[in-house]
Amino acid sequence: MGVRSPGTAYVLLHHYMGEIDGAFRSWGFSRGGTGAISNAIGAAAREAGVEIRMQAPVARILVKNGAAQGVVLETDEEIRADAVSSSVDPNLTFLKFIESRELPDDFLEEVRRYKYRGSSGKVNLALDALPDFKCLPGPGRHLRGAISISPSTEYMERAYDQAKYGEFSHRPYIDIVIPSLTDPSVAPPGKHVMSCFVQYAPYKLSKGTWDEQREAFGSAVIETISEYAPNLKSIIVGKQVVTPLDIERQTGLTEGNIFQGELSLEQLFFLRPVAGWARYRTPIRKLYMCGSATHPGGGVMGAPGRLAALEILKDTGKGKH
Amino acid sequence: MAAAREIVILGAGHNALVAAFYLAQKGLKPLVLERRAMAGGAAVTEEFHPGFRCSTVAHAGGPPLPSIVRDMQLSKHGLETLESPVRLFAPSLDGRALVLMTDPIAASKQIEQFSKKDAGKYVELHKALKRTGAILSELLTLTPPVIEKPSNEDLWKLFKVGRKFRGLGKKEMMRVLRWGPMAVADFVAEFLETDLLRAAVAARGIYGAAMGPWSAGSTALLLLRAASDPYPVGNSAFPRGGMGALTSAMAAAARQAGAEIRTGAEVESILVKNGAAAGVVLRGGEEIPAKRVVSGADPQRTLLGLLDPVHLPPSFAVKLQHYRSNGTAAKLNLALDGLPAFTALRNVSDGNAALAGRIQIGPGIDYLERAFDDSKYGDFSRAPYLDISIPSILDNSLAPAGKHVMSIYMQFAPYRLRQGDWTQQRDALADTIIKTLAAYAPDLPGKILARQIITPKDLETTYGLTGGHPFHGELALDQIFTMRPQLGWARYRTPVKGLFLCGSGTHPGNGITGASGANAAREILKDLR
Ligand SMILES: Cc1cc2nc3c(=O)[nH]c(=O)nc-3n(C[C@H](O)[C@H](O)[C@H](O)COP(=O)(O)OP(=O)(O)OC[C@H]3O[C@@H](n4cnc5c(N)ncnc54)[C@H](O)[C@@H]3O)c2cc1C
Ligand SMILES: Cc1cc2nc3c(=O)[nH]c(=O)nc-3n(C[C@H](O)[C@H](O)[C@H](O)COP(=O)(O)OP(=O)(O)OC[C@H]3O[C@@H](n4cnc5c(N)ncnc54)[C@H](O)[C@@H]3O)c2cc1C
């Protein structure tokens, strides 16, 4: 969506929904990157009695008589369970892990209709020094927060226009952070890491593939930032360009949608992910959904997970009433 | 000074005429004041070149609610509706074209040439729109409820709609809820695969709006229109004699019921005494006292233009200033020496029959979206979306024998241009429209005898549409139903006691249906009781 698109005010509010250390509406940094948040949550979960196994990719969800019975890993290992809760998107959960005959046709039709269409990418840069912005030269506090390349609503709208026709924005909207300024542990002394979140990079390109376009995309981002911080190119010592296709490959997020499905009005609230199935349950008994594809959606906020847990506890009779 | 009249209505657009009729029926003898020399508002027929007349602004009929046509006995008052068997002719530049007949089966035969799958899906889409349209049409005649504390009557009426809604079944009900906020480009893609056909249907979701097919909420507009006519690409019904014949019949019906209509009477201000409407002052100074004032003009013109702002709560005034009513539509009317030959019809035996309905230039979703893109930055579309009719094919009263009139509705022409103004750009706009059309009908430029271009600015100055908006304000999700024209003020009343709105800036306000006028009359009569 572009800034003028109806419904975008919701996405803005959505970004204000969280609360970080009491600072309502802030997107904070966490020492060690967002991975640290996941690690902390993981540690809390372990302490509460959760077992977490890494490198255990699920290949199938076992279903018998319309109820989930466990999962089968890619290694063919079978794990039986009283209930299964999936935090991956509906595409993987229902179209990949479960045989279609186990699901009602109506439901499958809706799952296929659910829209992903990732439109963002990332460029991570390893820097020899700090970028020097023309508008505010030298180091300073302005580099420690979010740096937004979004000079006007028209600029953002034009960036979006290109994506509508299957091109990445040649002058994209970029949201930059330099976490090494607040957390020296992420780079060698004196060096820096610059993380650039980029919109728009449509998953489906009208010409070529993302593997062919990756370099050009990275260059467009660097060129754009260089217009504001001309020293950028000379301080880059390493770069990683993450296209929506890479996001899909690396994280399993279908079509690289960072929120496990578009946050458009028709895919929110009681319609997320599928009308009639917004209460974390699925047409298969004992199979639940608990990821960003459920209400209230994506972001490192944890709400879908908590709400799903409450529903699961209700069903097992262990919930507090 | 004369005794105060019971009711004065300002503006004689079709909604005001409908309201006048229903009020007159109850013996109220409303006086209707119109600034122009003719009644009808944006639904008029005018001679724009000697011997050539057409629906200068709106050209295809809403259509008016059947209850209104019946109550006002419009056919008795001279309304004859001409229906083309072809609803829409949509040519593409590759020389192929869709000729969509009213009969969905015949239409699907045509569609088969493009896609077998779409042929079936088109019929399915028509059925789906019929089902949802039937329910939404109940909403058209409903006064939007008060959200905070709905009255028993509100609840009962909503309950009745709700019951019908549930009658759809859970699956269908959820579908409708999901559809509303969707981009119409996504909506049509759920049914159809042919781009030309997708665009033909999707155009209905953007007609008259500052939206492209990829704008969220454009499906709601399509569904709203389906409530009046569920046929996927809309209707092609033309009153004989043009739109003016419809409003003339309405005016005649209103007069017969007891209304008085004065043209050439521009209201300059609305009088307020002790916090209540007390009459109007005309340009020239004439004062007309009245117990109630009803406005058929748009909400901004009425409340910000004709009223002293001290009478409005400041927050109301501020919100109304933010009510979006900058239009993106323009008109080009052509007097033609003969019918143009469309390349896409060169092998069709009765090609002219295909031209008797509406003609759409907007051959793909991306085309429509790009046309919209230009307008976002204050330019008019270089390759615009056009909705055309040649009413003289079915109606020989509009042009001399053998000659024709072509009425071209154009989108997108933003009211506010980034560069220059509409006085400078009007010819460039007309040239762009003709050039666009000539790509499909190369002999057109040679057949033009005269042209009349109506820019968004003209829509404002000549026809009184603030911001040039066809519907007295955007029909967007945040400006419809209980929010039209403003949340808390969607029941045809205003913060000034005795001052009412009855035009298109009130619910449902979507084209020439008359529903806003009829709903307003009902509410005014309630207050009188
Ligand atoms: C580039 C990018 C930038 C973002 N920026 C921000 C930001 O700044 N702030 C913010 O709040 N949000 C941001 N987000 C969004 C946020 O990361 C997600 O919304 C959030 O991580 C979703 O959490 P989740 O638990 O629902 O799902 P995920 O984090 O997607 O977790 C799903 C997990 O399931 C695993 N999995 C997948 N398939 C299988 C399988 N077959 N078997 C076993 N495991 C499997 C995956 O490996 C993954 O670990 C960003 C996302 C991206 C991609
Ligand atoms: C280019 C264009 C094409 C359109 N095409 C179609 C179409 O094909 N089909 C369709 O259904 N709809 C169409 N519409 C929309 C439709 O014409 C309008 O929505 C409809 O006519 C509005 O009717 P109304 O009675 O609410 O107001 P209007 O028709 O706008 O009437 C308001 C009247 O108030 C008068 N007035 C204003 N101020 C004063 C004053 N101070 N004193 C006295 N009188 C005043 C005006 O002169 C006008 O006569 C089109 C609109 C435009 C602009």
CA distances from A128 to A55, A171, A174 (A): 34, 25, 21
In B, which residues are within 8 Å of A161 by CB distance? 373
Task: For the sheet with B385-389, list strands across it.
Answer: B97-101, B86-91, B358-361, B385-389, B404-411, B329-336, B448-454
User: Best residue in A11, A116, A164, A200 to probe B by mutation, most B CBs within 10 Å?
Assistant: A164
In chain A the domains, ranked by start, together with CATH numbers, are 53-115+257-316 (3.50.50.60), 118-251 (3.30.519)
Identify the residue whose tokens are 């996941």. Answer: A38
User: Residues of B near A (CB-CB distance < 8 A)?
Assistant: 170-171, 174-175, 177-183, 186, 190, 211, 214-217, 366, 369-370, 373, 376-377, 476-478
CA–CA gap between residue A38 and residue A32 (Å, rounded): 11
How would you class A9 by CB atoms within 10 Å of its CB: exposed for 0-12, middle for 13-18, buried for 19 or more?
A: exposed
CA–CA gap between residue A285 and residue B501 (Å, rounded): 54
Judge whether A109 is closer than 8 Å to chain B, CB to CB. Answer: no
CA–CA gap between residue B454 and residue B463 (Å, rounded): 10
Q: Is residue B27 part of a domain?
A: yes
Closest CA to B376 of B330, B411, B414: B414
Q: With an 8 Å Cβ cutoff, are A266 and B377 in contact?
A: no
CA distances from A62 to A142, A252, B295 (A): 52, 20, 66
d(CA B44, ligand 2 centre) in Å: 9
Q: Is the CB of A87 under 6 A from ligand 1?
A: yes
CA–CA gap between residue B243 and residue B45 (Å, rounded): 6
Q: Is residue B457 part of a domain?
A: no
Residue A244: pLDDT band by 50, 70, 90 thresholds?
very high
Q: Is residue B517 part of a domain?
A: yes
Residues of chain B with pLDDT under 50: none
Residue B311 C-alpha, separation from nearest chain A C-alpha, in angstroms:
32
Looking at residue A27, what is its pLDDT? 46
CA–CA gap between residue A32 and residue A70 (Å, rounded): 34
Q: Is residue B24 part of a domain?
A: yes
Residue A18: pLDDT band by 50, 70, 90 thresholds?
very low
CA–CA gap between residue B57 and residue B43 (Å, rounded): 6
Residue of A nearest to B182 (CA): A266
* CATH of residue B491: 3.50.50.60
CA–CA gap between residue B474 and residue A183 (Å, rounded): 49
Angle (CA) B224-B229-B231 rounded to 5° is: 110
Q: With an 8 Å Cβ cutoff, are A265 and B177 in contact?
A: no
Identify the residue whose tokens are 């005959």. Answer: A101
pLDDT per residue as tens digits for the range B484-495: 999 999 999 999
CA–CA gap between residue B219 and residue B180 (Å, rounded): 5
Q: And the tokens for A136?
A: 């505010």
Looking at residue A174, what is its pLDDT? 97
* CA quadruple B392, B393, B396, B401: dihedral sign: positive
Judge whether A165 is closer than 8 Å to chain B, CB to CB. Answer: yes
Q: Is residue B511 part of a domain?
A: yes
User: Best residue in B186, B223, B322, B479 to probe A by mutation, most A CBs within 10 Å?
Assistant: B186
Looking at residue B248, what is its pLDDT? 98
Pure H helices in B148-231: 152-167, 170-179, 184-189, 195-202, 218-226
Q: Is A24 helix (H, G, I), strand (E, B) or coil?
A: strand
Q: Is residue B14 part of a domain?
A: yes
Nearest to A106 among B171, B377, B476 (CB): B171
Question: What's the mean pLDDT in A239-245?
Answer: 96
In A, which residues are within 8 Å of B366 by CB distance? 164-165
Q: Is residue B489 part of a domain?
A: yes
Q: Are B316 and B495 in contact (CB under 8 A)?
A: yes
Q: With an 8 Å Cβ cutoff, are A275 and B175 in contact?
A: yes
DSSP B441-486: STTHHHHEEEEEEE-HHHHHHTT--TTB-TTSS---GGGSGGGSSS
Residue A12: pLDDT band by 50, 70, 90 thresholds?
low
Q: With an 8 Å Cβ cutoff, are B174 and A276 in contact?
A: yes
Q: Which of B504, B506, B516 to mutate to test the pocket of ligand 2 (most atoms within 8 A of CB)?
A: B504
In B, which residues are within 8 Å of A279 by CB distance? none
Q: Is residue B513 part of a domain?
A: yes
Within 10 angstroms of residue A100's Cβ, the number of other Cβ atoms is 12
Looking at residue A319, what is its pLDDT? 63
CA–CA gap between residue B376 and residue B418 (Å, rounded): 10
In A, which residues are within 8 Å of B186 by CB distance? 115
Q: Is the CB of A6 under 6 A from ligand 1?
A: no
Residue of B nearest to A267 (CA): B178
Domain span including residue B34: 5-43+247-321+475-528
d(CA B408, ligand 2 centre) in Å: 17
Q: What is the mean pLDDT of chain A?
A: 90
DSSP B64-126: PPHHHHHHTTTTTTT--EEE-SEEEEEE-TTS-EEEEESSHHHHHHHHHTT-HHHHHHHHHHH
Q: With an 8 Å Cβ cutoff, are B190 and A113 in contact?
A: yes
Report CA dihedral (B213, A255, A312, A67) to the nearest 10 degrees.
100
Q: With an 8 Å Cβ cutoff, are A5 and B476 in contact?
A: no
- Residue window 143-162, chain A: list those with CB within 8 Å of chain B: 154, 157-158, 161
Nearest to B216 among A6, A164, A270 (CB): A6
Q: Which atom of ligand 1 is nearest to the CA of A57?
A: 42
- Single-letter amino acid, residue B305: G
Question: What's the mean pLDDT in A13-29?
Answer: 47
Q: With an 8 Å Cβ cutoff, are A7 and B181 in contact?
A: yes
Report CA dihedral (A120, A124, A125, A131) to the nearest 10 degrees.
60
pLDDT per residue as tens digits for the range A116-144: 999 999 999 999 999 999 999 999 999 99
Residue A271: pLDDT band by 50, 70, 90 thresholds?
confident
Which H or E run contains A61? strand A58-64
Looking at residue A32, what is its pLDDT? 66
Looking at residue A21, what is its pLDDT? 42
Question: What's the mean pLDDT in A67-96?
Answer: 97
Q: Is B63 helix (H, G, I), strand (E, B) or coil?
A: coil
Q: Which atom of ligand 2 is nearest to the CA of B266?
A: 42
**Domain count along chain B:** 1
Helix B195-202 to helix B218-226 angle (10° resolution) is: 70
CA–CA gap between residue B329 and residue B374 (Å, rounded): 13
Residue of B nearest to A107 (CA): B171
In A, which residues are within 8 Å of B216 by CB distance? 1, 5-7, 264-265
Residue B205 C-alpha, separation from nearest chain A C-alpha, in angstroms:
14
Q: With an 8 Å Cβ cutoff, are A5 and B214 in contact?
A: yes
CA–CA gap between residue B37 and residue B266 (Å, rounded): 10
Confidence check on the interface: ipTM exceeds 0.95, yes or no: no
